[in-house]
């Protein structure tokens, strides 16, 4: 019984970790999509105005 309970706790922790990883992966994809657009916009606009690096800092 104790072993089964321990296994259940371990599985619960693993499941929670996987859920956290999945939830982190979704934001990661969104963040990866944002930097690509922000990099293209910042790359073109950053060449002339030096005030563009401010928005990237707020994003970071």
pLDDT range class, residue 26, cuts 50, 70, 90: low
Region 9-22: mean pLDDT is 56
Rounded-to-integer distance, Cα 56 and Cα 54, Å: 6
Q: What is the pLDDT of residue 31?
A: 53
The predicted model scores a pTM of 0.12
Task: Return the percentage of the chain with pLDDT > 70, whole number.
Answer: 0
Q: Which among 36, 40, 33, 38 has a CA at the least distance from the CA of 56? A: 38
- Provide the H-helix boundaries in the chain: 2-46, 54-59
Task: Return the percentage of the chain with pLDDT > 90, whole number.
Answer: 0
- At 14, list the tokens: 């693993």
- At 45, list the tokens: 């606009």
Q: pLDDT tens digit string along 27-45?
A: 555 555 555 555 555 555 5
Q: What is the pLDDT of residue 30?
A: 55
- 42 exposure class (CB count in 10 Å sphere: 0-12, 13-18, 19+): middle
């Amino acid at each position: 019984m104790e072993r089964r309970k321990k296994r259940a706790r371990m599985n619960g922790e693993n499941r929670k970790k996987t859920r956290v990883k999945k939830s982190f992966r979704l934001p990661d994809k969104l963040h990866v999509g944002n930097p690509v657009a922000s990099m293209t916009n910042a790359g073109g606009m950053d060449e002339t105005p030096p005030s563009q690096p401010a928005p990237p800092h707020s994003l970071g």
